[in-house]
Amino acid sequence: MSTILKKLKTSETGMKIREKIFPYYDPNHAFNPLKNLPDSMKRYDTCEERKNLSQIRFEIALCKKYWKCYPFHYFMYDLYREDTPLSEEALINYIPEFFWYYLYLPHHSSYTFWMITDNKIITDLFFRSLHIPQPETLYRIMNGRIYSPEMLPVPADQLLRELDREKTQKIFVKPAESGQGKGIHIFHKGDDGRYYSPDNTRFTNEFLNTIGKNRDYIIQKGVTQHPDISSIYPVSINTVRIITENKDGNTRAVCSMLRIGRGYHEIDNASAGGIFVKIDTGSGIIEDVALSYDGERFADHPDTHFVFQNFRIPCWEKIVNFARESAGKIPFFTHLAWDIAVTENGPVAIEINLSPGISGLQISCGGLREVFGITDPDYYWKNPGKRL
């Protein structure tokens, strides 16, 4: 019976059923592609600058006919606005979330080695073996025990003594399995030489025992970002998000954006209130306007008032080459999203994602169908789960 259900789940019929229940996805689940839809619909209901209703209905029907699934992104990306005139070709260039997550990505990538990207401890060990630059790891917490970077047991008292002597001003304590910046603890070195979080929690043995009861963690040094990037917003590490593609041993950078923190938060994730702006992958120059999931537009940073126009990401060629070469070392996956910190010494990989979100990229970059070379959506419906 389980084999039959599995076949049904990955069949064209099964995919059509899943598409129908897609909008009812558990809103509390860590992975929810439509989590921003309720707020998007509120914006739609209150928008006074909408296209006329017949035009909206036509455009939704056009997208639905082409992609064979409902275009929730039409509301999430505010494509109904009068000031967003789009040709029919431009409209169908936007990839629906369902098609992206359940048809396109599974068709191209195997999830057999998912832990390489989804478990930060495994990622750290894997990157170390491939000499891919990343933040320096100080310790790991696994099954309630503390380990050194070489995986040697470390008593908690020894860790605290060593940290007291550590010169770095900031450390990150990250859950091994989490995303979107959730569950991260950030500590700053105080005047007394010890580490404290913004809410004045002290990095102590008790803290380690508490967090290590049910989850594994990795403890890393904070990186110092390039001063040009810091001038945009100095509170967070503002990372470059690049999606790479590795087909037949050939890697390329498909699209990219800069993720920027705001509101004095130390995390740049858009899902945590950050903003994002398209990067021209060829030149490294960013767009004039940064955006948010809430439909906001910023010509300058809302906190620092840094003007985005004509800004070029420093060391751009090095960043693109770094992403391409690193992706080439991980041939298990076709598409990877790289979150890269830009330092004066070069790019550093903060995180990689096997199932990268597409919303922020399409909001900032526009539709990505042509960029990813999707010419026949029907093919993916008829061959769900089949790898090229």
pLDDT band, residue 31 (cuts 50/70/90): low
Mark residue 95 as left, alpha or beta (left: phi above 0; alpha: psi -120 to 50; beta: remaining).
beta
**pLDDT mean across residues, the chain:** 90
Q: Is 91 helix (H, G, I), strand (E, B) or coil?
A: helix
Look at residues 200, 231, 384 and name the one whose alpha carbon lies nearest to residue 313.
Answer: 231
User: What are the distances in angstroms from CA 210 to CA 39, 42, 142, 148, 179?
Assistant: 35, 39, 13, 19, 20
Task: Give the strand order in the sheet containing 297-298.
Answer: 297-298, 290-291, 275-278, 250-260, 240-247, 335-343, 346-353
More confident: 27 or 207: 207
pLDDT band, residue 342 (cuts 50/70/90): very high
Look at residues 288, 261, 259, 236 and name the one whose alpha carbon lies nearest to residue 360.
Answer: 259
> What's the residue count for the chain?
388
Summarize pLDDT for 51-93 with one digit per residue, the tens: 999 999 999 999 999 999 999 999 999 999 999 999 999 999 9
Q: Tokens standing for 163?
A: 């940290």
Confidence at residue 284, expressed as pLDDT on a 0 to 100 scale: 97
* Average confidence (pLDDT) over 271-291: 92
Q: Is 340 helix (H, G, I), strand (E, B) or coil?
A: strand
Confidence at residue 80, expressed as pLDDT on a 0 to 100 scale: 97
Confidence at residue 180, expressed as pLDDT on a 0 to 100 scale: 61
pLDDT band, residue 191 (cuts 50/70/90): confident
pLDDT at residue 258 is higher than 50: yes
Q: Tokens standing for 297?
A: 């537009």
* Average confidence (pLDDT) over 269-287: 88
User: Token match 């126009």: residue?
Assistant: 309
d(CA 383, CA 168): 51
pTM for the predicted model, two decimal places:
0.90
Confidence at residue 1, expressed as pLDDT on a 0 to 100 scale: 43
